[in-house]
Amino acid sequence: MSFIPEGFPKGFLRRLVPVMVRGVVRCPVRVQEDGRTRERVVWNAVGEEVVRVPAPAGYDPWAFVRGQFGREPERGGEVAERLKAIYDAARMVVEYELVVREGC
């Protein structure tokens, strides 16, 4: 499926860096949650920050941990801190290749 740039801010689109991969122009981006602010951060192919998107209203970074381990994270202590460190969404990095029919 092709990336459809309509609806994205022009500044976002200008910061994308096109690369040729097997004859197809792609715009690689990397997305990660900021562990301090919980914003979603997007970087382009050369590691420059493209945009920061605030976390949705009511976002709970520990919902998965509570769902798996009940109230354990709220008890505090070493076990709770270890669970939060292991399952912190900020540890996950997702990479996408945006492919636009006309190029980025």
Residue 27 sits at φ, ψ, to 5 deg, of -120, 95
Residue 35 lies inside a defined structural domain of this protein: yes
Rounded Cα gap, residues 63 and 32, in angstroms: 18
pLDDT tens digits for 52-102? 999 999 999 888 888 888 877 677 788 888 888 899 999 999 999 999 766
pTM of the model: 0.80
15 closest CA partner among 32, 30, 36? 30
How much is the pLDDT for 104?
A: 61
Reported residue count of the chain is 104
User: Which residues form the domain of 16?
Assistant: 10-99
How much is the pLDDT for 5?
A: 84
Residue 4 lies inside a defined structural domain of this protein: no
The overall longest dimension of the chain from CA atoms, in Å, is 54
pLDDT tens digits for 37-53? 999 999 999 999 999 99
How much is the pLDDT for 38?
A: 96
Residue 1 lies inside a defined structural domain of this protein: no
Angle at 91 between CA 47 and CA 39, to 5 degrees: 65
Residue 52 lies inside a defined structural domain of this protein: yes
55: three-class secondary structure by DSSP: coil
User: Considering its fold, how many domains does the chain have in total?
Assistant: 1
